[in-house]
Chains A and B, each alone.
Chain A
Amino acid sequence: MRKVLLPSLIIIAASLLVIRIFYLQIIDDSFKLKSENNAIKIKYDYPERGYIYDRYGKLLVANQASYDIMVIPREIKNIDTLEFCELLNVTKEDFIKKIEKAKVYSPRLPSVFLAQLNKSEFAAFQEKMRKFEGFYFQKRSLRDYEVDYGANIFGGITQVNEKLVASNPYYNSGDLIGKQGVEESYEVTLRGIKGVKYIQKDKYNREIGSYKDGKYDTIAVQGEDITLTIDAELQKYGEQLMINKRGGIVALEPKTGEILALVTAPSYDPGILVGRQRSKNYTLLYHDSIAKPLYDRGLLAEYPPGSPFKILTGLIGLQEGVINENTTFFCHHGFSYGRGRFMKCHNHPPAQQLHNGIYNSCNTYFAQTYMLTINKYNNPAYAVDVWSNHVKSFGLGQYMGYDLPTGKRGNIPTSKTYKKIYPNGGWRSTTIVSNSIGQGEVLMTPIQLANMMATIANQGHYFTPHIIKKIEGEKIDPKFTVKHETTIDKKYFPPIISGLFDVYNKGTASRLRVEGIDICGKTGTAENFAKINGKRTQLKDHSIFVAFAPKDNPKIAIAVMIENGGFGATIAGPIASLMIEKYLRKKITRNDLEIRILNISLKDQYAKLGGMAAASLIETTPKDSVMKAKMNKPIPKEVKITKADTTQEN
């Protein structure tokens, strides 16, 4: 027995060791993580973000170097604080505060002392940096905007939020990400792929070389440049015309669905949201809840479209066979329906056919047409759905699928809508007749209005609006080249188009003709209300105008919406015609009209909604000297607006 003790002990002891090692190495995996936290540091190499160009190749957004001054508190050695503060333009108190903050974070690890200095701010410091032990710089890339417009199109760059860091493994805390505009929708293309370097640390947290000879390291992939469909000149012009107004302009190329201009007002210079002033300026803009400069009205603002919607009412009437080109309705300043209800109309000859019904914007004509359409079927619910499907085939009442991150669906009512409003039934064509003239439950955004015009210009089809023209070495989304057909036969479009053409010749926009360009358009006005001091108050109507040109072979379809601009032909109409001229001719012949529009200010109107916020100082102001000069010119008397100009319509 005595011989067995030692061998047994050896085997028992060895088994004990193996079991414990098995536990440490195989069962408890917390050690693996601890070892990585211990010894490996991950460093990222951020590639330069792709550039952004306009449709003609004009550079809009590039990058600029910026410099973060970093500090390792423990390594600071007898520096001349006074000189240091002077060079970086910080106060001594600030200096002490920042150093204390860095120390709290870690005395051994680098913290950002001063972020995002531009080249000139940095240059003076760089020369003397040797003298300041413990400080060094880190180069970063920031957006450099070559233009002072298009802020809503570009969007911006910001730090990722913690929620995204948790859900998307690509991003780490502190990374930058595109927010809003194309920076957001083409984030993956523009940002490229950051490179990763694994670095071996020692117990003092010092770097002692690359981990596994860089076996897991990856090289950064450069961000790709993108070309937008935007016409920079047109965009700029649109934003200038919108100075001192609120609203949106959307211009599309009907043949392709390309977005030529996407204007929202008020806007701001994208350059003010870069670098050291970013957070201050962003806060100002963010808190301006009345003018809402960060709100893209072209995509987000839902309005009752008003008269332009009559175009669809007419088309659907033709398609459903309840009217033809020659159908005549009589209108005596309005239209009686239901029990003593009356829809007012304006001053025009009583006998209306489709053609002059459009250019006179006759409410009676389209209300009748709409009622015939609904009454064609015995069941109003079914009829509304038939009508609704026709309307939706124009891309309305839905997110259109364009490549910008924000949008609104608008609203095209269906039988369900009315079931909700009238749960006990009892609604019929007269109940919902307001839809016929683009009021009632119908809501549309400016881009939907523009798309509607593009569809009419194309006589029955449209392409999903999009802002991307070209991605370097990549195909754009094929969904943008798919033709969407409407439910309206092609043959019904020419009579409507000729009516729209005569809006310029004989109708509500006859004063806005541009010599040599055949424009088809339609004015619109939307009533609106606001709560002022707790009272529901009717404000001046929104001014709406939709158009496309030229009549044959259309190159541009446009929707203009001016909040509280009054009648469609007052402000929206002229802006649309100036935009069309600018796009087709690249220059403006009607200088007087241009100067008048530039000088229109609706500030007084908007003041009723609440005082202009502090942000108004950094919201759009003309920076262009030519534009400034034009705006200071007095309005020429002979083209001053007269009452007759603003033929009343609904």
Chain B
Amino acid sequence: MKNQSVKSNIDWISVIIYIALVVMGWLNIYSSSLSSTDGTYEKQLIFILLTIPLIFIVLFVDGKFYEKYASIIFGVALLSLVGLFFFGKTIAGQRCWYAIGSFTLQPSEFTKAATALALAKYLSDTQVNLKDVNRQVQALAIVFLPVLLILPQPDPGSALIYCIFLLVLYREGLPSWYIWTGFIAIALFVLTLVLEPEYVILIALLVLIIMHFKGRAVDRNLILSAILLALISGFVLSVDYVFDNVFKQHHRDRFNILLGKTVDMKGIGYNTNQSEIAIGSGGWIGKGFLEGTQTKGGFVPEQHTDYIFTTVGEEWGFAGSVVVIALFVGLFLRVIYLAERQKTKFSRVYGYCVASILFIHFFVNIAMVIGIFPTIGVPLPFFSYGGSGLWGFTILLFIFLKMDANKVNEW
């Protein structure tokens, strides 16, 4: 009877969007890898078919299983990351794969779901109040423990993804200054790269002076303002120092391209330039399926993985791009909507994590492809080629859909 309830209670809207994205993803992988002979699209088809048993397993497992064993799952996931240091296979300079025969598995793709479970489990404890600094530190520890293991692989893209958990914590009561600090830090970072650090500090000083006189009387605390200015100055100067002295040239280049500072289109700028050409040549309705000249010519590197969206842009045009973006946004909002109506805090937090993780991948990936974000290797969920990624995202999503289908029985 359980089967019956899953079938009738599962959120079919999410499932249909999921299927649509996977199918579209495969068609674009097919188009972009048609000329290569290494069986890329056949392999992806196998990966997709293998998600079917995976989904059934996820759905048939008892709904309470995930909550009960969240900590263990998280522990196993962390161990798999640790294991990479000993048994990992290095591909393209990154030691983040397990090789099983000819197939490779990237554990960090699964760690996201495990982290989400662990965070949900931790926050669902009624004792936890995020106003408490100790709790804040513990929650952040759960989030950044995997980051510490992923960064040295090195995989900065995956590490970046974990920042999105801050939004989940905010939803659950993390003080808002964390978020504001985050936004201000990002803004200062970008400003420092564009302008000289002295100017950024000057701007900060001006803003603080204006706030001091225009703000409410309560805020007129000179000492606080001075501390703030000192912190900002310290941050700006250290960003400048890190950028110039700690970052490697190829890191710096990735930012410089975005800021329009480097114009070497044959070298480091090649990827972004080619993907912009491919997308830009799509026009309103694109060149048609299998008709993309840039796609066929293989001008865009990594087109079937991180740059898969260029195929959408070139062959399906603006119309196709908007449809894909709309489907993703629809899925995110649907998942948030479902999360908000969950009866347990555990499943609500988990749902929020799912939406956040999918969203940050989606945004960083497409923003990178269309040249408004530095080049960071982040896959487009359900679209990009690769078994680990597809299965990781599928498990992530379907665990939540299982919880959602199960909520009726949870009383």
A: residues with CB less than 8 A from B are: 2-3, 5-7, 9-11, 13-14, 16-18, 20-22, 24-26, 28-32, 34-36, 38-40, 200-203, 208-209, 211-212
- Closest Cβ of chain B to A458, distance in Å, is 64
Most buried by B among A10, A11, A201: A10
A86 to B208, CA, bound (A): 84
**B235 on the A face (CB < 8 A):** no
Determine if B318 and A21 form an interchain contact, defined as CB atoms under 8 angstroms apart. yes
Q: Contacts of B179 on A, CB cut-off 8 Å? A: 5
Determine if A26 and B171 form an interchain contact, defined as CB atoms under 8 angstroms apart. no
A203 to B293, CA, bound (A): 10
**B280 on the A face (CB < 8 A):** yes
Determine if A18 and B283 form an interchain contact, defined as CB atoms under 8 angstroms apart. no
Q: Quick one: given A14-B328, A17-B363, A17-B370, are A39 and B333 in contact (CB under 8 Å)?
A: no
Determine if A21 and B313 form an interchain contact, defined as CB atoms under 8 angstroms apart. yes
Determine if B280 and A3 form an interchain contact, defined as CB atoms under 8 angstroms apart. no
Q: Quick one: given A5-B179, A31-B280, are A200 and B297 in contact (CB under 8 Å)?
A: yes
Determine if B370 and A31 form an interchain contact, defined as CB atoms under 8 angstroms apart. no
Determine if A5 and B370 form an interchain contact, defined as CB atoms under 8 angstroms apart. no
Closest residue of B by beta carbon distance from A39? B293
Closest residue of B by beta carbon distance from A32? B281
Q: Contacts of B170 on A, CB cut-off 8 Å? A: 2, 5
Q: Quick one: given A13-B363, A208-B297, are A24 and B372 in contact (CB under 8 Å)?
A: no
- Closest Cβ of chain B to A1, distance in Å, is 9
Determine if A34 and B277 form an interchain contact, defined as CB atoms under 8 angstroms apart. yes
Q: Contacts of B274 on A, CB cut-off 8 Å? A: 38
Determine if A17 and B279 form an interchain contact, defined as CB atoms under 8 angstroms apart. no
Q: Quick one: given A17-B367, A35-B280, A202-B298, are A9 and B167 in contact (CB under 8 Å)?
A: yes
B residues 319-370 with Cβ under 8 Å of A? 321-322, 325, 328-329, 332-333, 336, 340, 352, 355-356, 359, 363, 366-367, 370
Determine if A6 and B281 form an interchain contact, defined as CB atoms under 8 angstroms apart. no
Determine if A211 and B293 form an interchain contact, defined as CB atoms under 8 angstroms apart. yes
A36 to B179, CA, bound (A): 45
Q: Contacts of B325 on A, CB cut-off 8 Å? A: 14, 17-18, 21
A21 to B366, CA, bound (A): 10
Q: Contacts of A209 on B, CB cut-off 8 Å? A: 296
Q: How many A-B residue pairs have CB under 8 A?
A: 127
A203 to B302, CA, bound (A): 13
Closest residue of B by beta carbon distance from A24? B280
A6 to B358, CA, bound (A): 12
**B240 on the A face (CB < 8 A):** no
A16 to B325, CA, bound (A): 11
Q: Quick one: given A14-B329, A39-B293, are A34 and B281 in contact (CB under 8 Å)?
A: yes
Determine if B340 and A25 form an interchain contact, defined as CB atoms under 8 angstroms apart. no
B: residues with CB less than 8 A from A are: 35, 167, 170-171, 173, 179, 274, 276-284, 291, 293-294, 296-299, 313-314, 317-318, 321-322, 325, 328-329, 332-333, 336, 340, 352, 355-356, 359, 363, 366-367, 370-372
* Contact residue among B35, B279, B336 (Cβ-Cβ distance under 8 Å from A25): B279
Q: Contacts of B352 on A, CB cut-off 8 Å? A: 6
Determine if A39 and B297 form an interchain contact, defined as CB atoms under 8 angstroms apart. yes
Most buried by A among B281, B294, B356, B370: B281
- Closest Cβ of chain B to A43, distance in Å, is 15
- Closest Cβ of chain B to A315, distance in Å, is 71
Closest residue of B by beta carbon distance from A27? B280
Closest residue of A by beta carbon distance from B337? A7
Q: Contacts of B370 on A, CB cut-off 8 Å? A: 17, 20-21, 24
A264 to B37, CA, bound (A): 66
A29 to B277, CA, bound (A): 10
Instruction: Give the 8 A-B residue pairs with the shortest CB-CB distance, closest first.
Output: A31-B280, A35-B281, A39-B293, A39-B297, A24-B280, A202-B297, A25-B318, A13-B363
Instruction: Add 9 more A-B contacts to A3-B340, A202-B296 (CB < 8 A).
Output: A5-B167, A5-B179, A9-B167, A16-B367, A21-B318, A31-B279, A34-B280, A39-B299, A40-B293
* Contact residue among B278, B321, B329, B371 (Cβ-Cβ distance under 8 Å from A11): B329
- Closest Cβ of chain A to B47, distance in Å, is 26
- Closest Cβ of chain A to B328, distance in Å, is 7
Can you list 28 A-B contacts with CB-CB less than 8 angstroms, sorted by A residue number? A2-B171, A6-B167, A6-B171, A6-B336, A6-B356, A7-B333, A10-B329, A13-B363, A14-B325, A16-B372, A17-B366, A22-B318, A24-B280, A24-B370, A25-B280, A25-B283, A25-B318, A26-B283, A34-B280, A34-B281, A38-B293, A38-B294, A39-B296, A200-B293, A200-B296, A202-B35, A202-B298, A209-B296
